[in-house]
Homo-oligomer: A and B are copies of this chain.
Amino acid sequence: MCRLFRVLLYIYLSFSTATFTTRQAEAQSDPLPSWNDTAAKKNIEAFVDRVTKDGDHDFVPPEERIATFDNDGTLWVESPVYTQVVFAFTRIKAMAPQHLEWKTKQPFKGVLEGDMKAVAATGEKGILEITLATSAGMTNAEFEKSVSDWISQARDRRFNHPYNELIYQPMVELLAYLRSNGSKTFIVSGGDQEFMRPWTEKAYGIPPEQVVGSTIKTQFEMRDGQPVLMRLPQIGFIDDGPGKPVGINESIGRRPILAFGNSDGDLQMLEWTAAGAGPRLMLLVHHTDAAREYAYDRKSSVGKLDKALDEAIAKGWIVVSMKDDWKKIFPFQ
């Protein structure tokens, strides 16, 4: 061999070896490091392998690998009360000086006095009044700003962290893992979609157009010659329970092949996903870890998991025990 060729061959081989080593390292690195090596993790990985192998009987084209995730209790903390309720209560207190009538009017009086029993006694009607008082009667941009401002400085009392850091690290890894395998990931939540959109892209890698939630009706108006969207004091759509398949159809228009929830409010989304043809993955996050997060299910007023748990067990859906299946809960741990 001539010298030049030998040098060239050496460079080539070094390069190939380097490439090979890098590839091997990539293959060996675990995309779900916060998951224990239990059945839940293995079943998820096996499902992804099945649907992504081209030529395989169970292959699903990338554009059909729609994955929908509930938010409260599935991607972030919902205990002891939904974060959006904490936000609304803070807003009621901030807005109280402009609403002296709230001093004597439930459910506002209860919120201002910290009397949660009085608030609870007003039922759904009370919750609706609080929601509309704190998130309607302003432009969409104004509401978005109030959410962004609040989430950047509010902190959960137990963990002393901003709420958008109280997200589940194993689920964040799962979202990224599914996307790296061609899935399009969506949030399908009972919460107000405008309460989520300002921060989901940074927290989960999910852009606003892939956030489906409940809505307040909005109206296009001209204000000082500038177009604005006014949030009217009227609920548009409740994206919960049987509303979730409706929301999925309206906003996505394709049936998911993977669906993730944690409560009875997710049951119909999982049923709708399960009823499609071909391979399907349905998963429930079960809150079983009082030490690291919370433990609740059948009797909880927030994130009640009862019927959906029975159906998951009966139908062999994956039930993740946060205590047993997750190495860590939050990114900051």
List the interface of chain A (C-beta within 8 A of B).
1-2, 4-5, 8, 63, 66, 140, 184, 186, 193-194, 197, 201, 207-211, 215, 218-220, 226-227, 229, 236, 242-243, 245-246, 249-254, 268, 271-272, 275
Contacts and interface: CB of A to CB of B under 8 A. Distances in A.
A253 B218 contact: no
Contact of A229 (B186, B218, B245, B252): B245
Contact of A208 (B209, B253, B275): B253
Contacts of A215: 250
A242 B227 CA distance: 10
Contacts of A253: 193-194, 197, 208-209, 211
13 contacts: A1-B2, A1-B4, A2-B2, A4-B5, A63-B207, A194-B253, A218-B250, A220-B242, A220-B246, A220-B272, A227-B271, A227-B272, A251-B251
A321 to B, nearest CB: 27
Contacts of A2: 1-2, 4-5
A243 B218 CA distance: 9
Contact of A254 (B1, B209, B268): B209
A227 B4 contact: no
A235 to B, nearest CB: 13
Contacts of A271: 227
A191 to B, nearest CB: 14
A321 B329 CA distance: 58
A289 to B, nearest CB: 32
A320 to B, nearest CB: 23
Contacts of A219: 242, 246
Contact of A218 (B197, B201, B246, B252): B246
Given A63-B201, A251-B209, A246 B227 contact: no
A122 B318 CA distance: 54
Given A2-B1, A251-B251, A229 B246 contact: yes
